[in-house]
Chain A
Amino acid sequence: LNAAPGRAPRQHVRFLPAPAADGGGAVELVAARVPVLADHPLVRGPRFRRLKIGAGHRLDVKASGVFVLGIGHGNKLLTDLYNCHLTKVYTVGGLFGKATDDFSDTGKLIEKTTFDHITREKLERILAVIQGTNQKALLMYSNIDMKTQEAYELAVKGLIRPMEKSPPIITAVRCLQFALPEFQLEIHCLHETQQYLRKIVHEIGLELKSSAVCTQVRRIRDGVFTLDDALPRTQWNLQSIQEAIQNCQLKVETELEKTLG
Chain B
Amino acid sequence: AAMAGAQRAAGVARPLLCRGLGVAAGPPSTRQLREAEEAAPVFQYASKATRRKDRVFVWGFSYSGALGVPSFVRPDVGWKKPRRIQPTPYRLETEEKISSAACGYGFTLLASNTTDITKVWGMGLNKDSQLGFQRSRRDQTKGYEYVLEPSPIPLPLEKPQQTRVLQVSCGRAHSLVLTDSEGVFTMGNNSYGQCGRKVVEDEIYSESHLIHQLKEFDSRVVQVVCGQDHSLFRTKKGAVYACGWGADGQTGLGHYNITSVPTKLHGDIAGVNIIQVSSYGDCCLAVSDEGDVFGWGNSEYLQLASVTETTQVNVPRHLPFKIGKVKEAACGGTGNIVLTEEGNVFVWGYGILGKGPNLIETAVPEMIPPSLFGRSDFSPDIRVAHVRCGLSQFAALTNRGELFVWGKNLRGCLGTGRMEDQYFPWRVTVPGEVVDVACGVDHMVSMVKSFT
Contact = CB atoms under 8 A, between A and B. Distances in A.
A148 B357 contact: yes
A242 to B, nearest CB: 35
15 contacts: A112-B37, A114-B42, A114-B47, A117-B50, A125-B451, A129-B451, A131-B379, A132-B374, A132-B427, A147-B357, A149-B356, A156-B371, A156-B372, A158-B371, A210-B45
B355 A209 contact: no
B452 A117 contact: yes
Given A148-B356, A208-B452, 13 more contacts: A112-B41, A114-B46, A116-B48, A132-B429, A133-B429, A135-B374, A135-B427, A136-B426, A146-B420, A146-B423, A147-B421, A148-B357, A151-B424
Contacts of B378: 172, 174, 188
B328 interface: no
B254 interface: no
Interface of B is mostly: loop
B401 A155 contact: no
A111 interface: yes
Given A146-B420, A155-B372, A174-B378, A122 B48 contact: no
B400 A128 contact: yes
Contact of A156 (B36, B47, B369): B369
A114 B44 contact: yes
A174 B379 CA distance: 9
A219 B46 CA distance: 33
Nearest to A124: B400
**Closest 7 CB pairs between A and B?**
A152-B356, A209-B46, A209-B45, A114-B44, A149-B356, A112-B42, A156-B369
B434 to A, nearest CB: 11
Contacts of A126: 451
A157 interface: yes
A101 interface: no
Given A111-B43, A155-B372, A158-B371, A146 B422 contact: yes
Looking at B372, B400, B421, B429, which has the most chain A CB atoms within 10 Å of its CB? B400
A126 to B, nearest CB: 6
A152 B355 contact: yes
B212 to A, nearest CB: 44
Interface in B417-437: 420-424, 426-427, 429, 431, 433
B223 to A, nearest CB: 30
Interface in A160-210: 172, 174, 188, 207-210
A147 B378 CA distance: 27
A237 to B, nearest CB: 37
Nearest to A173: B378
Looking at A152, A157, A210, which has the most chain B CB atoms within 10 Å of its CB? A152
Interface string B31-61: 0000011001111111110100000000000
A178 B422 CA distance: 38
Contacts of B42: 97, 112-114
Interface of A: 97-98, 109, 111-114, 116-117, 122, 125-126, 128-129, 131-133, 135-136, 139, 146-149, 151-153, 155-158, 172, 174, 188, 207-210
Nearest to A111: B43
A107 B45 CA distance: 22
B371 A152 contact: no
B353 to A, nearest CB: 11
A109 to B, nearest CB: 5
Looking at A98, A147, A208, which has the most chain B CB atoms within 10 Å of its CB? A147
Nearest to A186: B378
A102 to B, nearest CB: 14
A125 B357 contact: no
Nearest to A113: B43
Contacts of A122: 451-452
A156 B366 CA distance: 14
Interface string B389-401: 0000000000011
B446 to A, nearest CB: 15
Contacts of A149: 356-358
Contact of B40 (A109, A129, A131, A209): A109
Given A132-B402, A157-B371, A210 B427 contact: no
Contact of A125 (B371, B422, B433): B433
B372 to A, nearest CB: 6
B308 interface: no
Given A136-B429, A149-B358, A210 B40 contact: no
B46 A210 contact: yes
Contacts of A156: 369, 371-372, 424
B376 interface: yes
A164 B378 CA distance: 25
A59 to B, nearest CB: 24
Contacts of B372: 155-156
Nearest to B355: A152
Looking at B47, B372, B423, which has the most chain A CB atoms within 10 Å of its CB? B423
Nearest to B48: A117
A112 B48 contact: no
A176 to B, nearest CB: 13
A20 to B, nearest CB: 80
A153 B356 contact: yes
Nearest to A109: B37
Contact of A113 (B45, B48, B374, B400): B45
Interface string B66-109: 00000000000000000000000000000000000000000000
Contacts of A109: 36-37, 40
Contacts of B426: 136, 139, 146
